[in-house]
Chains A and B, each alone.
Chain A
Amino acid sequence: MQEVPMKSYDVIIVGAGHNGMAAAVKLSKSGRKVLLLESSSKPGGMAVSNEIFKGYNTATLPHLINHLSSKVIKELDLFDHGLEIKNKIIPSISIDQNHNHVFLNGEYGSNVEGINSEDNHSWLKLRKRLFNQANLLKRFISNTPINQENISFLGKLKFIKAGLDLRLQGKEEFQEFFRMILMCVADVLEEEIESDLLSGIVSFDSTLGIRLGPRSPTSLMGLLYRFSGEFNGQQGVQIFPVGGMEQLIKSFYASVESSGVTTLFSQTVKNFIIKDGKIDGVITKEGNEYKSRIVLSSVSPILTFLELIGTKRLDTGFIRELKSLRYHGNVSKLNLALDRIPVFEGLDENQLSSRIVYAPSIEHVEKNFNPSKYQELPTDPNFELVFPNRFDQSLAPNGAAIASIIIQNTPYNLKNGWEKSREKLQNDVLSRLESFSPGIKKSILASQFLSPQDIENSFNVPGGHWHHSELQIDRMYSLRPVFKCSNYKTPLSGLYICGSGTHPGGGINGNSGINAAKQIIKDINN
């Protein structure tokens, strides 16, 4: 690690996750002297990769991109810094115990195989409508939300304009938007679709990462959020970069380096220096002090406010609001190193280059959700599985495979405690996997399991939530993380926040970092 004397900077950014890095580049390019502090030894935050077994490299947590903002790609010149996307669209498969799998090809099922023609017709109609609605929401996703500063008529003009545009598409679309927007995904699907497998995977995708079941009102929002993601003009797609998720982070970091940001690793911010009620720098656990009148924290809001600032410095009303954030994660990750390419009944080897989802019906997904309400684990968990080395062979030895599995509905707090439950959960998932791919258990060389509690410890995210806090409608847009901070500013003068806990939240998109940087630049110029 390079030795840096105590210095002062224009802006200090806490956390070199993708949002922290995006903000660093934006600020540095605007001519500010930026210091980026990261507690671990490498950049990437929760999007890092690791070697789970010799020669097996995989993303520790998120394993696909579905939200990377084109604005961010441009701002950071990611393509010039090593990002490369080859096999653009990754199909999804809803797997079935009787091998009658349903295949969602193209942009989130623009072409579905395995359902009857009537369903196909209804699905395409529904998909078109949902894409349309997502497009409307997309207008609000990449920009700073309406906040205390611009709540005036001008701020609301955006809504009025969106409403008018929608109305111009016709009465039907307009009415359906306002009817469906807060519906539960199960009702929407049951109105149109008969296929259990198709409904199952859509339900799963709507609720993945949040604490809702498909029958919980507002769960459709999760799906619309997913559909608002795009890549190269293709909506609702998931993609995988050449070189894996690691390469994505590398391209972020390359951009950081080339823009002249000072980055220091293994520097864990312990607290902020506050002078006259204003921020004046940070102190790290390693004993270093860095001065700056502006600090941007990309770590979770809970960590930023309740631990780094502490409750004494903030007013009670604000603390109360923060404490009401629901920040306990619900998703676990299982990474497996396999000594051979697994065989799935009903799938040929090429089809393993897909996202495979085990969510056989709405009922199944709902029943999976039920125990999580009571801090219990599901008995037959739903999961999403990809084999990253199918997209890029360099990630694992020839003829071998990595399985990257996201397990839904595994609450942070368990009545029985995670120590007693982690084995059982892994076994349940593996037995289910075995039923689809006999012999897969025997081929496991090594495994890596992260419960929400493990995620909390490994990534310093209180609650171990992938999105830092629940991404439900009551905590979206202007209400994320709380209304007072929706423009990335905080009650503490000079302190800003970005990261998944702020708008637009989850997924690797980087918008929050860019928006926060813009706000800072605007405030400095004023």
Chain B
Amino acid sequence: MTQKFDAIIIGAGHNGLVSACYLQKAGLNVLVLEKNDWIGGAAVSRELTPNILYSNCSYVCSLFRPEIMRDLELPKHGLQIIGIEGGTVFTKNGDYLASYRNYHSKRREMARFSNKDSEAYERYSRDVTRQCRFIQPLLMRTAPDPASFKLKDISEIFYLIKKFNELTPNQMAETIRFWTMSISDYLDEYFENDVIKASLAVSGIIGTALGPMSPGTAYVLLHHYMGEVDGSIGSWGYARGGMGAITQALSSSFKSLGGTIITESEVTNVLVNNNSAKGVALKNGNEYYSSTIISNADVKRTFLKLVNEKNLPKKFINKVKNFKIRGSSGKVNIGLDSMPEFPAVPKGDPCLKGDIHFTDSIERMERAYDDWKNGTWSKDPFLDMMIPTTTDPTMAPPGKHFMSCFVQYCPPKVYGNDWTEANKEAFGETVVKQIEEYSPSFREKIIHMEIRTPKELENEVGLTEGNIFQGELTFDQLLFNRPIPGYAQYRSPVSGLYICGSSTHPGGGVMGAPGRNAAIEILRDLKKPTKHARSAYEVI
């Protein structure tokens, strides 16, 4: 079977779909190919046990860019984000530190642990918000190539310098410092209490193969903070109906524009002729042709697996090989018979509706990381646990619940060997045990449990090493270095072949920005209008 399209997108993850929508909207005839029999990549809701929907990969939403939501009219296609009401950290001594959406309640709760820290929080949130404001506009712009002498790149560099110059000298110094610090050192400059520090350090480590004491984690914190829900920067929300609601809305928007999605179509090869992309070959023998191919897969999978190496320069391949994608997290998804009880917290406290943590000190987080460095999963892991069904009743029948436990750290291999079933069980048991410590009757309530190690994530969703960001968010892999210096503008050495996944600027999370930015670059190459993509400033 052969068919011709204006553009073909490999992978129906959220970035692939965002790209697809923007291209289709510009008048192209776009085809999206997905290997699984469901779409959404790592932003999915799946019924793994009867009647309970699982956000079994990504589990909360905040980073998704509001500009994209408006451009693609996602609310019209059913997307609804509900703000999270609170969160809590349980402490070893039976207490808990709650945090609430209400700023004053949050500070009152902090004051229970340290008055000084509660005061400092004001300064802290102001400073972090300032950093966010500085970086937010960068998300929706293609990073300039500083090595290039093209007018476009030079003018973009000058634009960025101009932006930077708007800061006062002191703010400049603070910004530069912030970018290179560890979250632990950064928090030490504001806070004294360990529990408070641990609760704030969380965003600095999620998804990365770094501990809270590694320089650069302050930036990772920013990466998690620069999202927004309903215009409130840094807040997080649940997508009603699970994370799949986002990709379902995207798919609906795409289809309403006339686009085509074909599932169960695994692309095995990108067809290249004369250094130009010609089409794709599928595992089932089909071929589709187009001179514009966009890969939503990560950079390693795209260039080391989908493209024949004879079509790529050797130096480029080496650089792709050197790109750091490190699996560092696992996931345990649990279906529950009833709401677990946490004796430490008053029943019905809204702090249980958000992220629940059991790691009450930076040292415990860092030690969890040491285990990973040693080659195994953390014996006292850091859990980012959520029960979305406390907020969103559409995911489970009344009384029943879905619980998502994001677990750090979890390596792609155990002491260099592949994961065995026994390892996987032991990993799940570590998680259940930790929860049991704070909720004694927890185990009895479990009706179904799915344990996902990086291996599962790689096999199912196609994320190399199961890294949720499609590549580490370290400085050497950000901005014009992401994924590879000289190829940070979504293009590749093969003309007509593009990448649009989280491997590209501005990186991971269910953000959609890479997909949108890639679409704009593609439209520029095709000399098509890009007016329908609003600039970041129009919306802010």
B343 located at the interface, meaning its Cβ lies under 8 Å from any Cβ of chain A in the complex: no
CB of A151 within 8 A of CB of B147, answer no
Least CB distance, A224 to chain B, in whole angstroms: 14
Least CB distance, B215 to chain A, in whole angstroms: 4
Residues of B within 8 A of A326 (CB): 185
CB of B146 within 8 A of CB of A178, answer yes
Chain B 169-185, CB within 8 Å of chain A: the 1/0 string?
A: 11011101100111001
CB of A212 within 8 A of CB of B215, answer yes
CB of A473 within 8 A of CB of B180, answer yes
A175 located at the interface, meaning its Cβ lies under 8 Å from any Cβ of chain B in the complex: yes
* Complex: A240 Cα to B400 Cα, angstroms: 74
CB of A218 within 8 A of CB of B216, answer yes
Least CB distance, B461 to chain A, in whole angstroms: 25
Residues of B within 8 A of A174 (CB): 146-147
A246 located at the interface, meaning its Cβ lies under 8 Å from any Cβ of chain B in the complex: no
* Complex: A412 Cα to B173 Cα, angstroms: 28
Given contacts A218-B215, A474-B177, A167 and B370 within 8 Å (CB-CB): no
* Complex: A483 Cα to B178 Cα, angstroms: 13
B193 located at the interface, meaning its Cβ lies under 8 Å from any Cβ of chain A in the complex: no
* Interface segment out of the listed A135-143, A180-188, A346-354: A180-188
CB of B474 within 8 A of CB of A178, answer no
Chain A 347-368, CB within 8 Å of chain B: the 1/0 string?
A: 0000000000000000000100
CB of A167 within 8 A of CB of B216, answer no
B301 located at the interface, meaning its Cβ lies under 8 Å from any Cβ of chain A in the complex: no
Least CB distance, B508 to chain A, in whole angstroms: 17
* Complex: A336 Cα to B181 Cα, angstroms: 38
Least CB distance, B382 to chain A, in whole angstroms: 15
Chain B contact surface mostly: helix
CB of A178 within 8 A of CB of B180, answer no
CB of A483 within 8 A of CB of B147, answer no
Of the candidates A179, A374, A473, A483, the one whose C-beta lies within 8 Å of that of B481 is A179
* Complex: A167 Cα to B485 Cα, angstroms: 13
Residues of B within 8 A of A176 (CB): 485
Residues of A within 8 A of B363 (CB): 373-374
B3 located at the interface, meaning its Cβ lies under 8 Å from any Cβ of chain A in the complex: no
Chain A contact surface mostly: helix
B108 located at the interface, meaning its Cβ lies under 8 Å from any Cβ of chain A in the complex: no
B188 located at the interface, meaning its Cβ lies under 8 Å from any Cβ of chain A in the complex: yes
* Complex: A474 Cα to B188 Cα, angstroms: 14
B437 located at the interface, meaning its Cβ lies under 8 Å from any Cβ of chain A in the complex: no
Chain A residues numbered 175-211 whose CB sits less than 8 Å from any CB in chain B: 175-176, 178-184, 187, 191
Residues of B within 8 A of A69 (CB): none
* Complex: A171 Cα to B169 Cα, angstroms: 31
Least CB distance, B492 to chain A, in whole angstroms: 16
Of the candidates B169, B176, B213, the one whose C-beta lies within 8 Å of that of A151 is B169
CB of B188 within 8 A of CB of A183, answer no
CB of A182 within 8 A of CB of B216, answer yes
B436 located at the interface, meaning its Cβ lies under 8 Å from any Cβ of chain A in the complex: no
Of the candidates A171, A182, A373, the one whose C-beta lies within 8 Å of that of B366 is A373
CB of B173 within 8 A of CB of A472, answer no
CB of A180 within 8 A of CB of B147, answer no
CB of B215 within 8 A of CB of A473, answer yes
Given contacts A178-B481, A474-B185, list 13 more A-B pairs with CB under 8 A: A171-B147, A171-B486, A175-B147, A181-B475, A217-B214, A218-B180, A324-B188, A366-B373, A370-B373, A474-B180, A474-B181, A474-B215, A479-B176
30 contacts between A and B (CB under 8 A): A148-B169, A163-B146, A171-B486, A174-B146, A174-B147, A175-B485, A175-B486, A176-B485, A178-B485, A179-B485, A181-B475, A182-B180, A183-B475, A184-B474, A187-B324, A216-B182, A216-B214, A217-B210, A217-B216, A218-B180, A218-B215, A218-B216, A324-B188, A326-B185, A473-B180, A474-B177, A475-B177, A478-B173, A479-B177, A484-B170
